[in-house]
Amino acid sequence: MKLKFIISFIIILSSGQFSLAQTIKGFVYELNASQEKTPLPGANVYWEGTTLGTATDKNGAFTLKNDGAKNHLLVVSYVGYLNDTLHVHGNKSIEVILQGSKTLEEFEVLERAPGAHISRNDPIFTQQITMGELKRAACCNLSESFETNASVDVNYSDAITGAKQIKLLGLAGKYSQMQTENIPNLRGLASSYGLSYIPGSWMESIQVSKGTSSVKNGYESVTGQINVEYKKPENQEMLFLNLYVNQIGRVEGNVNSSIRVSPRWNTAVFGHISNQAAKFDHNHDGFIDDPMFTQVNLFNRWNYYSEAMEGMFGVKYLNEDRQGGQMGYYNNKEPGSEDFYGTRIRTNRLEAFSKTGFFLNRPESSIGWINSYIYHDLNSFFGLNTYDAIQHNFYSNLMLQTWIRSTAHTITTGISYNLDHFDETLNDSAFVRTEHTPGIFAEYSWVVPEKFTLLLGLRGDYNSLFGFFITPRLHLKYNFTPKLVARVSAGRGSRSAGVIAENLSLLTTSRYFIFTEKLKMEHAWNYGINLTQYVDILGRELSISAEYYRTEFTSQVIIDKEQNLDQIRVYNLDGPSYANTWQVEMRYELIRRMDVTLAFRYNDVKMTIDEQLQREPLVNRYKGLVTASYATNLRKWQFDVTAQFNGPSRIPSTAMFPEQYRMASESPFYTVLNAQVTKFYKKWEFYLGGENLTNYKQNHPIIASEDPFGPHFDASNIWGPVSGIKVYLGVRFLLKHDRL
């Protein structure tokens, strides 16, 4: 048996050698400003759907074998140019003239590449999570989309309401900028539950970039940026249906549809409804493990294209009602009564956006204008705490992109304006806050093809509460060889903290907020280096990346629940606060059609809490990830397995609590295992999966759960899963347009 295996292995190994080797030769050109044909060095030339490729030399010439070419489509690409795909036969020499992209970078429609990958051209280290990758974990919304991603952690922030938070580079999600289609989103009141506002089947792709990002999108990204691209009307299905159900009674339905209204106008409608009505208490602490909720989410978008301009417009509405607490809470005579502990969060949210781009007569030059308005109305109570809030956000960004001397040197400059108006009432205290932040920015980029990219950005913003501040950013990408790429980034990020909205989970405690001083704006520097090496092994490419990032706060708002038993003290950082993360990640197609990812990250996150430099609570000291995805021939079946390894984290001190309420000082190591099987038909897809298959749960997630109105109650010390194994089943129906 073993011998047989070895023989077949050898046959597989050598099978590549038997195909007839042919060599394609050719030249790649661009048209310069006076429309003359000039060689384009450093363009990528590769076989579609493979990693077999090369780059053009200084004369624009290339030679490429067609060993292993899946189909005979040769792709020629270069940043800022439209990709060209050629059908290439035999050995003949070819000539390609790349057309300058008329598309604004902000409007770039992303190609669907298989699985997750690291963008090679982007000077900022960016991981793409594509639709294929999103399908590997079918449930349910943005918060579950990072299960197969080693950089982003997602954790519950309390054991009652289902609030979730991401962590990037070891720091809370508020320090990474969330965007939808390059518009800042999920800020302020959406901080605690916003990850559930974007249904999985609406998303086309997600870009995760680490370190500070481009100044074009503002000053807020400190640890990174997460951008979600919704499906586009022009290339999505005519009709898409998705139905999902799990064993604890969560039900979800999605309907997407797109229509070509005219050659220039396309529209799409997205509908989502989800519900969890059943309540379970598997850990017998008297509290419902998973909150009950109903969400209705609607989105309509319109895209317009013409020779001179393009535009995108959209309106989104969300209504959510989520409830949690003690099993008997429904019997309460009135909300917020002391019969049973209960929480209820009701949300109404309206978003509207427009993005317009105008192409100028000069090549590669355009004007882009983004506008967005968000209204968020939140009504909630958490036991005896009541919190009602309204947020208005208006954002406008007008930018000009052009080049100096040659298209290798581009300049983007513009002005932006952000308005945030908060009207919050926590119990009997009212907080009203209005922030106007006009800003001006410029970014210079210099590209030496396939060798080096420099991105230099600077912006100045004036915040009506905190004054003027600057945001410098630097990104550098250098290719030592075509297979070894180094990226360096450095920059500053700033944000104004919305303490209560960002920490709603702390209302599920018997503590009260104390603001000991006037809070400052948060400022931090972030530096990072990333090395990515591509190695060809057995005709397939192994990618290994190693990185180090450091974030250093010069000003930070500290949320301290360790100084005093019944308080949450909020004050400005006085002392050091930093986060170091080291990460290595490997991806390889281990056997045909089986992609494997291995990753490991070490976090060293410390901050000065109560005048002492301490490990930041609830940050895993290390994290590991193993994923494997296997598709059968013709991709009729797909199997996915993901294991997440969570190292110990520091639990906020419970030393002041009576003995029976104390928790360990560190959480234990634990593993979460997810798996999924998908069966594909022409128009139907069925999936069956399980989350947390080892059924790992944090014991006693709620402190003093039997005395919820007593002085020790705390549901926010969460380091692990609250609910156990979840098994789900779903079906998708896809009806494509004829033109696709």
Q: Min. distance of Cβ 53 from other proteins in angstroms?
A: 16
* 3-state SS assignment for residue 8: helix
Tell whether the torsion through CA atoms of 322, 328, 331 and 337 is positive or negative.
Answer: negative
d(CA 578, CA 523) in angstroms, rounded, equals 12
Give the nearer residue to other proteins in terms of CB position, either 264 or 683: 683
Contact residue for other proteins among 591, 636, 695, 710 (CB under 8 A): 636
Q: CB under 8 A: which stretch of 87-95, 160-168, 244-252, 443-451 binds other proteins? A: 87-95
Tracing tokens 């036969």 back to the chain, one arrives at 89
Q: CB under 8 A: which stretch of 3-11, 55-63, 101-109, 286-294 binds other proteins? A: 3-11
Contact residue for other proteins among 23, 85, 516, 564 (CB under 8 A): 85
Which residues have C-beta within 8 Å of that of residue 493, sequence separation ≥ 6? 175, 212, 219, 220, 221, 222, 223, 471, 523, 524, 526
Q: Are 321 and 297 in contact (CB under 8 A)?
A: no
Give the nearer residue to other proteins in terms of CB position, either 340 or 680: 680
d(CA 175, CA 168) in angstroms, rounded, equals 8
| Rama region for 318: left / alpha / beta (φ>0; ψ in -120 to 50; rest) | beta
Please list the alpha-helical segments (H only) found in 527-676. none
Q: Min. distance of Cβ 12 from other proteins in angstroms?
A: 7
What is the 8-class DSSP label of residue 655? T
Contact residue for other proteins among 2, 58, 87, 518 (CB under 8 A): 87
d(CA 526, CA 522) in angstroms, rounded, equals 13
Which residues have C-beta within 8 Å of that of residue 10, sequence separation ≥ 6? none
Contact residue for other proteins among 36, 307, 634, 659 (CB under 8 A): 634
How many CB atoms within 10 Å of residue 41?
20
Give the nearer residue to other proteins in terms of CB position, either 634 or 699: 634
| Residues of this chain, 678-717, that bind other proteins according to CB under 8 A | 680-682
Q: Min. distance of Cβ 2 from other proteins in angstroms?
A: 12
* 3-state SS assignment for residue 13: helix
- Asked if 35 touches other proteins (CB under 8 A), the answer is no
d(CA 353, CA 396) in angstroms, rounded, equals 10
Q: Min. distance of Cβ 734 from other proteins in angstroms?
A: 12
Tracing tokens 């990020």 back to the chain, one arrives at 493
Q: CB under 8 A: which stretch of 193-201, 308-316, 677-685, 715-723 binds other proteins? A: 677-685
Tell whether the torsion through CA atoms of 474, 475, 479 and 484 is positive or negative.
Answer: positive
As given in the structure block, the two tokens for residue 60 are: 């624009």
As given in the structure block, the two tokens for residue 716 are: 């926010």
- Asked if 656 touches other proteins (CB under 8 A), the answer is no
Q: Min. distance of Cβ 682 from other proteins in angstroms?
A: 4
Q: Min. distance of Cβ 123 from other proteins in angstroms?
A: 30
Q: CB under 8 A: which stretch of 262-270, 282-290, 300-308, 674-682 binds other proteins? A: 674-682
Pair type for strands 93-98 and 540-555: unpaired
Q: Min. distance of Cβ 648 from other proteins in angstroms?
A: 46
d(CA 283, CA 343) in angstroms, rounded, equals 19
Q: Min. distance of Cβ 681 from other proteins in angstroms?
A: 6
Q: Min. distance of Cβ 668 from other proteins in angstroms?
A: 45
Residue 639 one-letter amino acid: F
Give the nearer residue to other proteins in terms of CB position, either 262 or 633: 633
Contact residue for other proteins among 25, 89, 112, 362 (CB under 8 A): 89
Give the nearer residue to other proteins in terms of CB position, either 441 or 680: 680
Q: Min. distance of Cβ 739 from other proteins in angstroms?
A: 6
What is the 8-class DSSP label of residue 365? -
Q: Min. distance of Cβ 114 from other proteins in angstroms?
A: 13
Q: CB under 8 A: which stretch of 81-89, 261-269, 298-306, 497-505 binds other proteins? A: 81-89
Give the nearer residue to other proteins in terms of CB position, either 85 or 247: 85
Give the nearer residue to other proteins in terms of CB position, either 240 or 680: 680
- Asked if 5 touches other proteins (CB under 8 A), the answer is yes
- Quick note: the x/- pattern for other proteins over 90-119, rule CB under 8 A, is x-----------------------------
| Rama region for 193: left / alpha / beta (φ>0; ψ in -120 to 50; rest) | alpha
Measure CA 86 to chain center. 33
Give the nearer residue to other proteins in terms of CB position, either 1 or 34: 1
- Asked if 259 touches other proteins (CB under 8 A), the answer is no
Q: Min. distance of Cβ 306 from other proteins in angstroms?
A: 19
Site residue total, other proteins (CB under 8 A):
24
Give the nearer residue to other proteins in terms of CB position, either 483 or 683: 683
Q: CB under 8 A: which stretch of 35-43, 168-176, 506-514, 629-637 binds other proteins? A: 629-637
Give the nearer residue to other proteins in terms of CB position, either 59 or 85: 85
Give the nearer residue to other proteins in terms of CB position, either 351 or 685: 685
- Stretch (H or E) spanning 194: none
Q: Min. distance of Cβ 103 from other proteins in angstroms?
A: 20
| Rama region for 333: left / alpha / beta (φ>0; ψ in -120 to 50; rest) | alpha
| Residues of this chain, 520-579, that bind other proteins according to CB under 8 A | none
Q: Are 439 and 457 in contact (CB under 8 A)?
A: no
Sheet holding 183-184, edge to edge: 116-118, 126-130, 203-210, 224-230, 176-180, 183-184
Q: Min. distance of Cβ 679 from other proteins in angstroms?
A: 11
Q: Are 215 and 389 in contact (CB under 8 A)?
A: no
As given in the structure block, the two tokens for residue 148 are: 């197969």
Q: Min. distance of Cβ 731 from other proteins in angstroms?
A: 16
- Asked if 611 touches other proteins (CB under 8 A), the answer is no
Q: Min. distance of Cβ 631 from other proteins in angstroms?
A: 12
- Asked if 86 touches other proteins (CB under 8 A), the answer is yes
Sheet holding 567-572, edge to edge: 512-515, 567-572, 557-560
Give the nearer residue to other proteins in terms of CB position, either 236 or 418: 236
Q: CB under 8 A: which stretch of 8-16, 366-374, 386-394, 444-452 binds other proteins? A: 8-16
In three state form, how does the secondary structure of 99-147 look?
CECCCCHHHCCCCCCCCEEECCCCCCCEEEEEHHHHCCCCCCEHHHCCC
- Asked if 238 touches other proteins (CB under 8 A), the answer is no
Give the nearer residue to other proteins in terms of CB position, either 73 or 546: 73
Contact residue for other proteins among 2, 58, 405, 739 (CB under 8 A): 739
d(CA 317, CA 301) in angstroms, rounded, equals 12
Measure CA 435 to chain center. 26
- Asked if 23 touches other proteins (CB under 8 A), the answer is no
Q: Are 298 and 314 in contact (CB under 8 A)?
A: no
Which residues have C-beta within 8 Å of that of residue 739, sequence separation ≥ 6? none
As beta bridge partners, residue 258 has 268
Peptide bond into 139 cis (omega under 30): no
- Quick note: the x/- pattern for other proteins over 36-75, rule CB under 8 A, is ------------x----------------------xxx--
Q: Min. distance of Cβ 29 from other proteins in angstroms?
A: 18
d(CA 494, CA 468) in angstroms, rounded, equals 11
Residues that bind other proteins (CB under 8 A): 4-5, 7-8, 11-12, 48, 71-73, 85-87, 89-90, 633-636, 680-682, 738-739
